[in-house]
Structure 1
Amino acid sequence: MIDALEILVLVATGALAVFGVVLTILNRPPDRTMRLAVGAVEVLLVVQAAIAAVRVFSGTALPETQTFLIYLVVSVCVLPIATQFATAEPTRWGGTVIAVGAIATAVAVWRLQGLWLAGA
């Protein structure tokens, strides 16, 4: 995986989590700005997943390839699901739902890097 892209994804998910908490503190439901922020982070995650998948399927040997691929899918799926839950019935807690999804995504990305380094 690309270290710079991983750091960018971790910073972006951290910023998204902070944004979600701020929205909750301000007593505002997630709005268009939040959906755009989630979309931007999701684009980074899809780019990272595509690069990693190409490298894995082109022969990079990992000790736990199946686990790596599961984490890869999870890292891409968590934020859209959290956003759907947060915006289905807009309340002040929607920002917290997205923040938790962003933290879970950051943990998945961090674990991906650990699995990748174990294969190096």
Structure 2
Amino acid sequence: MIHSLAVAIVVLTGALALFGVAGTVMGRAPGRVDVLAVGAVEALLVLQAVLGAARVFGGVRLAETQTFMIYLLVSVAVLPLGLQFARAEPTRWGGTVIAVASVATGVAVLRLLSLWGQTVG
């Protein structure tokens, strides 16, 4: 994993969560801007997942490889699912759904950083 990329993703998921809460406070349903914001963060998550998986399959030994791979999958899957739920019934609360998905993704990335730090010899 690239540490600076992971830190950037954590910061961006935090900003996306604030953006989602702001949308809820303003009373607007998720729209095109929300889709683009989630898409931008998701692109970075996919890049991180590809790089992380390539390094694991390339020989990096982790103390908890299976857990790491599961968190990689979760980090990529949560935001699109949250966006789908947010847009399924477009109400003002869609922004809150995006915010919760963003926070969950940020926590998953922090856990990935923790697991990556536990490399074995």
Normalised by the shorter chain, which TM-score bucket? over 0.9
TM-fit CA distance, 1:24: 0.3
Give runs of ≥4 in structure 1 deviating > 3 Å. Answer: none
Provide the aligned length of Structure 1 versus Structure 2: 120
Cα distance in 1 between the residues matched to 2:86 and 2:37: 14
TM-fit CA distance, 1:119: 1.2
SS in 2 for 1:10: helix
SS in 2 for 1:20: helix
**Which residue in 1 is equivalent to 2:118?**
118
**Which residue in 1 is equivalent to 2:8?**
8
TM-score, reference length from structure 2: 0.98
Identical-pair percentage: 61
**Which residue in 2 is equivalent to 1:67?**
67
**Which residue in 2 is equivalent to 1:86?**
86
Cα distance in 1 between the residues matched to 2:99 and 2:76: 15
Following superposition of structure 1 onto structure 2, how do residues 102-117 of structure 1 map, counting pairs within 5 Å? 102-117=102-117
TM-fit CA distance, 1:7: 1.1
TM-score, reference length from structure 1: 0.98
Letter in 2 for 1:103: V
Cα distance in 2 between the residues matched to 1:8 and 1:44: 9
Q: 5+ unaligned residues in a row in structure 2: which ranges?
A: none
Cα distance in 1 between the residues matched to 2:52 and 2:95: 30
**Which residue in 1 is equivalent to 2:40?**
40
SS in 2 for 1:51: helix
Cα distance in 2 between the residues matched to 1:74 and 1:95: 20
Q: CA RMSD in A?
A: 0.7
Cα distance in 1 between the residues matched to 2:2 and 2:40: 18
TM-fit CA distance, 1:29: 0.6
TM-fit CA distance, 1:3: 1.2
Letter in 1 for 2:20: G
